[in-house]
Amino acid sequence: MSWVYLTQLLEKVDRHSTFLSKLWITTFLIFRIILTTVAGESIYYDEQGSFACNTAQPGCENVCYDSFAPLSHVRFWVFQSIAVATPTILYLGFAVHRITRIEYKRDEQTKRAKRAGGPDRVVECTEKEEEVVEEVEVEEEAEGEEDGKGKQHNERWRIKTDGLMVAYTLQLLARTLAEVGFLVGQYLMYGLEVAPRFQCVRDPCLNSVDCFVSRPTEKTVFLLVMYAVAGLSLLLQLSEIAYLGLGAIHDSLSGRHRPRSRCGASPARLALRHVN
């Protein structure tokens, strides 16, 4: 069931995102989720059991481990994955709802027009319908303007014509902020290496206690790999922000404006456009 849901999610990402976002979701799935669930669990499965301190004081070893790792590395990366993915999941739900609502309005207009006088009759929109219909560009116009400009630009323009650009930009910014926040948090909590020896001075330890970590070199390498994955993810997101910004500037300079209202157009023409 989980793989079916994942496949459906990827199909929605493909319809309502740019090429860079598709590349990001691939990086997210392969490098972050698989690394965390497969490699991370096998490397850190004994992190507390093999954390040994040179003391027999009851409770000292537990509080020293809590000081060494306030939050388990693997759990931290799981929380990071959830936080970074949440804006995209919310956006996809919003996109599907919005496009479904617009298509429903079009179908209702077409049915009303046929009952009133046939498919070629001009439709007069109500104020509420006009608000919905104005958000969608005429497909022929978009195709004409985008002819020969490449698949990536068509994807950006499709998001814009679906009336989703604001929501898409907001989720991208939220995703980027979450990524930066967790990168900073990871550095503050774990640094850049897993030291083989940890010196602990906490109650109920009677004095300074030396604790030793299992496989510190392997854990350091994996920690740096996760930094690299987060850095790559952040780079893709910053690149997409720049891409959308440059695209908006290009649209402004080339004279593209807000999609025009379709009120007064025939329902037959309105029905020509199908949202992917």
- Please give the domain boundaries of the chain with CATH numbers for all domains: 15-98+147-204+217-256 (1.20.1440.80)
pLDDT of residue 178: 93
pLDDT at 146 (0 to 100): 45
Q: What is the pLDDT of residue 238?
A: 92
Structure tokens at 22: 């598709």
Per-residue pLDDT in tens (0 to 9) along the chain, 276 residues:
455 555 555 555 556 677 787 788 777 777 788 888 877 777 887 777 788 888 877 888 888 888 888 888 888 998 998 898 888 888 888 877 777 777 777 777 777 777 776 544 444 444 444 444 444 444 444 444 444 444 445 666 666 666 677 888 898 899 999 999 999 999 998 888 888 888 888 888 888 888 888 888 888 999 999 999 999 989 989 988 888 888 778 777 876 544 444 444 444 444 444 444
Q: What is the pTM of this model?
A: 0.69
> What is the model's pLDDT at position 269?
44
Q: Would you state the pLDDT for residue 138?
A: 41
